[in-house]
Structure 1
Amino acid sequence: VARLAASPEVDIVVGAIVGAAGIVSTFRAAEAGKKLLLANKESVVCGGKLLMDTVKRCGATLMPVDSEHNAIFQCLVGETERSREKARIILTASGGPFRTRKDLSDVTIEEATHHPNWSMGRKITVDSATLMNKGLEVIEARWLFDFPPERIDVVVHPQSIIHSMVEYEDGVVIAQMGAPDMKNTIAYSLAYPDRFTAGVTPLKFSQIKTLTFEDPDLNRFPQLGYAYEALKMGGSASIVLNAANEIGVEAFLEGRIGFTDIAVLCRSMMYGFQPPAPTTLEEILETDRQARELARAWADGYSEHRRDKN
C-alpha cells in the first residue's frame, strides 16, 4: 500500500486505513507530493509536526476527510493569518451511545459498537463511545491547523448537524452544517476548491426541531482529557496514548478487559512510558511498537487478574 501511495501513476491518495497501520502510507504519499485525502487520524496524531513539515517540504496537499476537521477547514477558508491568530476551534461530538448513562462499568461490547448517528467500524465506534475519538481529533486539530490546544474546545452536540465551528476574535462563530453523511466530506475533498453533489439529501431546516449543546463529562469520559494532557506532555505522549488505546479497544472487543479499563490502560501507559519526541518516521514506528508491546503485557496481566478474581 505504501508503495502504491507514492506511485507516479497516482494523483490522489485516500488514506482510510484504520489505526497506526496507515502511518507509513500517509508519509509516503506526503513525500511523493500527492493530494492526500486523509481519514486516518493516527497519522496526524503520531506524525504531528513531522508529518506536517513533510507535507510542506514536499509540496503535498493534505485535505482532512473526517467530518469535524473537514468542517474546520471549510470554516477557515479565506481567513487571513491575522484572523486565525485569536480564533478558537470548536469541535462537536455526538456524545456517543452513553452520553446520558451514569454507570459505565458494565458496558457490553454490543452496546459500545452501536453508534446513534454514524455507521462506522467497530474500533472507531468504541472510540466514539469513550470519547477517545474526540481526543484524537483534538490532537489532529492542533497539528492540521497549527492551533495551540488551549484554543481548541469540544462541545457535545447530539444531533450531529453542526459538524464543527470556528469562533473569531469579534465573537462571530462560523459553523459548517449538513446531514451526518461522509459522502459530503469526501466529495468536498475531491473537488476542492470546487464543489459537486454527493447525492446527499440537503438539510430541511423546518424539520430540525432542536439543536442542543453541552460540555463533555471528563469524569465519565477521561480519555478526552488525556488527549490534552498528551499535548501538554509533548515528547511521544500522543503516540503512546494512541497505541495504548488501540490495544485497549482490541482487548475490550475480545472480552479480556472491561470498557472503563481502556482508560485505565491509557493513563498507565502515558505516565509509565515516556520516550523522547521522534525525529524520523522510523522512530515513530519504533515508539509505537514498544508502546504496543507494553500495553499488551498490561492487558494480558489485567485479563489474567480478572479471570483469577472470577
Structure 2
Amino acid sequence: MPSENASDGIRYKVIPIMTPQVLTILGSTGSIGESTLDVVSRHPEKFRVFALAGHKQVEKLAAQCQTFHPEYAVVADAEHAARLEALLKRDGTATQVLHGAQALVDVASADEVSGVMCAIVGAVGLPSALAAAQKGKTIYLANKETLVVSGALFMETARANGAAVLPVDSEHNAVFQVLPRDYAGRLNEHGIASIILTASGGPFLTADLNTFDSITPDQAVKHPNWRMGRKISVDSATMMNKGLELIEAHWLFNCPPDKLEVVIHPQSVIHSMVRYRDGSVLAQLGNPDMRTPIAYCLGLPERIDSGVGDLDFDALSALTFQKPDFDRFPCLKLAYEAMNAGGAAPCVLNAANETAVAAFLDGQIKFTDIAKTVAHCLAQDFSDGIGDIGGLLAQDAQTRAQARAFIGTLR
C-alpha cells in the first residue's frame, strides 16, 4: 500500500515546458474544459490540442473540433460516436472519433501529449488521470475526486514517474501561487502554520434551515458567484465541495488535517490563504473566473493573458468572513471526519455523495437526504487503506450500490 506521506516527493518546481504544448483536454464540453479552450485560443503559438473528450455533448464537441482540429475526440459510447462522426463529416473535420473508458486512458497517455487537463467530473475521471501520471505527463488537475478517492496512490504514481501535478481548482491554485516555489510539502521548514481554503457558502448561506427540505434542484444549482456544472453546484450548496477540496489539499500540499482551515467568504474575491508562523497571511485575490487558475497553470513559468478583467477595488464595498456552521453544512463535517479517518473513508464519502447528488438532481430525494445518505455509507470503519486502482474502484462500486439501496428507503 502507498504510504500516507506519499506526496512528500512531489515538488512544485517550475520547469520550462516545450512550445507549443500538446494538450489532451478531458471534459472539454464542461465549464472547466470550455474555459481551458478559451485560454488556449488566446495563445495559438503556445498550445496545440491533440485530443478532446466530451462524454455525450456531441454538438458542442463537434463545434470544438471544428475550431481546434484535434487528432482525436472521445465520447461515451458507440451511439454518440456515430452521431459525432456524422457531424464532423458534414463539417469536413478530419478528427478521428473514439469512444469508451479505454479511449480516455489512451488519449491521456499518448506519447505525443505533454499536458493533460483532467476536468472530467467525478471518480470516473480517475483511470485517465492515473494513466497520465504513469506516463509522466504534466497534469492540470481539475478533477478533485482523483485525489479524494486515490490520494496516496495517485501522488506516489506521479512522483515515481516524474509527473508534475498542477492544481486548477481556484482554491488550491491560489495556495499554490502563494507558497514558496521550493515548498515540496515542508510546512515547518517554511514557517507555515496553516492553509486556509475559502468558500462562498453557496446559495443557501443565509436561508432558513427549516426550508432546506423543500430546496429544489433548480435552486441548488444557482451559484451566486461561479459558473459551474450542476453536480459541483449542488456540492457547493451543501459545502461538500469544500470538504472534497480539504482532502485534495491534504494530498497536494502534504498538509496534516489539523493544519487545514475553511473560512466562508461570500464575495469569492480571496480564493485562499496561507498563514505563516510569524503572523503573516498571504492571499491570492481575483475575479471569480476559472480562466485565471487555468492560465496560471498552462502558462508556467510565464504569466499569460487569461481574458479575465482586472479586479475593481473601487467596486468592492466589503470583504466578509465567517466560520462554517456544521448544522447548516453537515456534509462539510462528514468530509472532515472522512479526512481524519483516512484509509478508504474518502473514497466512500465521494461515491456516496456522487450517488446522492445524482438522485437529488433527478428528483428522487430531498436536499437534506444527501447528507443522510453519505452519513449512512460512512457508518462503518473504513480506516484501512486500499493500495491499488482495482480495489478503489471496487470500493467505489460497493458504496454506490449501498447508497442506492439506502435512497430506495427514503422515497
With normalisation by structure 2, the TM-score equals 0.72
Residue in 2 that maps onto 1:61: 164
The letter of the residue matching 2:207 is R
What SS does structure 2 have at the residue aligned with 1:87?
Answer: strand
**After the TM superposition, which parts of structure 1 deviate over 2 Å for at least 4 consecutive aligned residues?**
77-87, 272-276
Residue in 2 that maps onto 1:220: 328
Residue in 2 that maps onto 1:205: 313
Contact 1:245 1:266 in 2 (8 A): yes
2:293 to 185, 196, 200: 185
Residue in 1 that maps onto 2:152: 49
2:175 to 69, 72, 92: 72
Residue in 2 that maps onto 1:308: none
For 2:392 and 2:284, the matched residues in 1 are separated by: 33
1:245 to 339, 343, 353: 353
For 1:262 and 1:85, the matched residues in 2 are separated by: 39
What SS does structure 2 have at the residue aligned with 1:271?
Answer: coil
1:96 equivalent in alignment to 2:202: yes
Give the superposition deviation at 1:126.
0.2
For 1:233 and 1:138, the matched residues in 2 are separated by: 13
Residue in 1 that maps onto 2:50: none
1:261 to 366, 369, 372: 369
Larger radius of gyration: 2
1:145 equivalent in alignment to 2:248: no
Cα RMSD over matched residues? Answer: 1.3
Contact 2:174 2:273 in 1 (8 A): yes
Contact 2:192 2:274 in 1 (8 A): no
Residue in 2 that maps onto 1:5: 108
Gaps of 5+ in 1: 304-310
Contact 1:105 1:260 in 2 (8 A): yes
Matches within 5 A, 1:16-27: 16-27=119-130
Residue in 2 that maps onto 1:123: 231
Contact 2:351 2:396 in 1 (8 A): yes
Give the superposition deviation at 1:155.
0.4
Contact 1:41 1:136 in 2 (8 A): yes
1:107 equivalent in alignment to 2:215: yes
Deviates more, 1:29-38 or 1:72-81: 72-81
Contact 1:37 1:64 in 2 (8 A): yes
With normalisation by structure 1, the TM-score equals 0.95
For 2:182 and 2:145, the matched residues in 1 are separated by: 27
Give the superposition deviation at 1:79.
5.9
Give a deviation string over 1:7-55, Cα, whole Å, max 9, x none.
1011110000000110000100000000000100100101111111111
Contact 1:166 1:173 in 2 (8 A): yes
Deviates more, 1:270-279 or 1:179-188: 270-279
Give a deviation string over 1:45-68, Cα, whole Å, max 9, x none.
011111111110000000010100
The letter of the residue matching 2:205 is R
The letter of the residue matching 1:99 is L
For 1:62 and 1:149, the matched residues in 2 are separated by: 20
2:265 to 144, 157, 160: 157
1:274 equivalent in alignment to 2:379: no
Q: How many residues align?
A: 303
